[in-house]
Amino acid sequence: MATKRKAKKRTTKKREPTLRELLAKRRTKYTPQLAASLLEWLRQGYVMQQWLDDNDVCRTSITNWRNAYPDFGEEFARAKDEGHDAIAERARLTAATPELGVTHTVTDDEDGRSEKSVTADMLGHRKLKIDTDLKLLAKWNPKKYGDRVDHKVEGKLDIETMIIQAHKELEEERSGEAE
């Protein structure tokens, strides 16, 4: 008797959709105009979170845009770099420009309550802004804004001489113990 062979079902593997295709299925807020707006915002050195809040966009969306649109990803990196330069320039301006502020002092003494107002430069406030910006720049872009660290070893490192010296010291210790 002849045996019947079962026919195998051929299954074709579906390819995984690309990120661009996934984003196309989901509603995305990406438009070239919105992307250009973000890039300009970053070039000015402003905080990205503020732009995200103003435009009702989440940070994950920006990461998805960078992955789905390579041109946007490259422009994003350039805009961030230009923004770092803008922050550095703004820190210099802050250092050079006094910011006047009013300090109110209230004291209670035997004669009653006295209030004193003094208008002066807000030096501590300016120092804090500058210090914060410079520390962030050093973290974000250490090659450009971080402290220069030099790991150069100068002089000769003669390993053979070091080994001979170590053997001599070991022999001296052993001969001292034998006595």
User: How crowded is residue 83: how many other Cβ atoms within 10 Å of its Cβ?
Assistant: 20
pTM for this prediction: 0.63
Q: How far apart are CA 104 and CA 116, in angstroms?
A: 6
Query: 20 versus 139: which is more confidently predicted?
Result: 139
Residue identified by tokens 């804004």 is 145
Q: How far apart are CA 127 and CA 98, in angstroms?
A: 11
Most confident range, picked from 1-10, 38-47, 60-69? 38-47
Domains defined along the chain, listed by start:
19-161 (1.10.10.60)
45 has a pLDDT exceeding 60: yes
Task: Please write the tens of the pLDDT for every residue from 154-175.
Answer: 777 778 888 999 999 999 888 8
Task: Please write the tens of the pLDDT for every residue from 114-143.
Answer: 888 999 999 999 999 999 999 999 999 999
pLDDT-based confidence at residue 108 (cuts at 50, 70, 90): confident
Mean per-residue pLDDT, 57-85: 94
User: Distance of alpha carbon 143 from its chain centroid, rounded?
Assistant: 12
Q: What is the mean pLDDT of the chain?
A: 87
